[in-house]
């Protein structure tokens, strides 16, 4: 990871020594050499979305973020080999986003196939805890995108928005049978293709966070049926 120029790693000790991340507020200038919109892929894993969108949209900059470097290395190596100057990777916790990005520095956030965290709402990447974090770095008109195979997470996110008076800009519980398929980037991760081959549908929802609303967000009090297939190994799905 340390040999790849597109990878940025700042352990706590380094951040303390530097007095914070020196790239905060300067990613466009110091990393990408332009002022194009910056898009984050959170929990990027192998970085398939960051790299795929970097290829499709040269007029935007993409940063894949994950805490696990072993997985991230795959996408970082691809970006480096292909010379994708609009793709970078940051190894850190999502909780620390405000330490790495200035207010309004981020134009869009993509959350692709995260763990739905059915028992731990504060770890749910579309929960109100993380909405507050995203609001600190996202533009007032910035979009948040969720793509998931989880009926639970899709239902929860839809209910969280409704409960807080927010309307999705786009939403479907079956992306590839929807007209939104022509709008959403045509990227299928290895993980997504596995679930599609086993009969699950990909769900997609996108929304905006109005300025100042994050502090007033609250969790919906609603029971949502869990994803029973997640009780099984990845090679076996209930009902198949």
- Phi (first) and psi of residue 144, to 5 degrees: -115, 130
**Candidate list 35, 115, 141, 174, residue with the active-site label:** 115
Q: Report how far residue 93's alpha carbon sits from residue 145's, in angstroms, rounded to the nearest whole number.
A: 19
Q: Is 115 annotated in the active site?
A: yes
- How many of the other CB atoms lie within 10 Å of CB of 240? 9
Of the candidates 90, 111, 87, 114, which has an alpha carbon nearest to the alpha carbon of residue 101?
A: 90
Supply angle C-alpha 126, 213, 145, rounded to 5: 35
Of the candidates 139, 132, 150, 126, which has an alpha carbon nearest to the alpha carbon of residue 220?
A: 126
Of the candidates 180, 225, 230, which has an alpha carbon nearest to the alpha carbon of residue 204?
A: 180
List, by residue number, the catalytic residues.
Answer: 115
């Amino acid at each position: 990871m340390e040999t790849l120029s597109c990878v940025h790693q700042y352990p706590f000790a380094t951040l303390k020594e530097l007095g914070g991340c020196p790239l905060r507020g300067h990613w466009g200038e110091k990393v990408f050499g332009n002022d194009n919109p910056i898009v984050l892929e959170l929990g990027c894993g192998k970085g398939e979305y960051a790299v795929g969108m970097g290829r499709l949209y040269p007029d935007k900059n993409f940063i894949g973020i994950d805490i696990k470097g072993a997985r991230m290395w795959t996408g970082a190596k691809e970006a480096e080999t292909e010379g994708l100057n609009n793709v970078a990777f940051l190894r850190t916790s999502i909780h620390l986003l405000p330490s790495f990005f200035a207010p309004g520095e981020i134009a869009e956030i993509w959350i692709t196939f995260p763990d739905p965290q059915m028992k731990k709402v504060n770890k749910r990447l579309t929960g109100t805890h993380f909405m507050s974090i995203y609001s600190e770095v996202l533009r007032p008109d910035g979009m948040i995108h969720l793509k998931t195979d989880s009926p639970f997470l899709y239902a929860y996110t839809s209910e969280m928005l409704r409960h807080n008076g927010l309307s999705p800009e786009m939403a479907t519980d079956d992306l590839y049978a929807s007209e939104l398929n022509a709008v959403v980037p045509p990227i299928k991760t290895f993980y997504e293709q596995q679930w599609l081959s086993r009969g699950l549908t990909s769900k997609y929802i996108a929304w905006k966070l109005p300025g100042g609303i994050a502090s007033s967000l609250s969790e919906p009090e609603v029971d949502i049926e869990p994803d029973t297939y997640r009780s099984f190994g990845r090679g076996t799905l209930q009902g198949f």
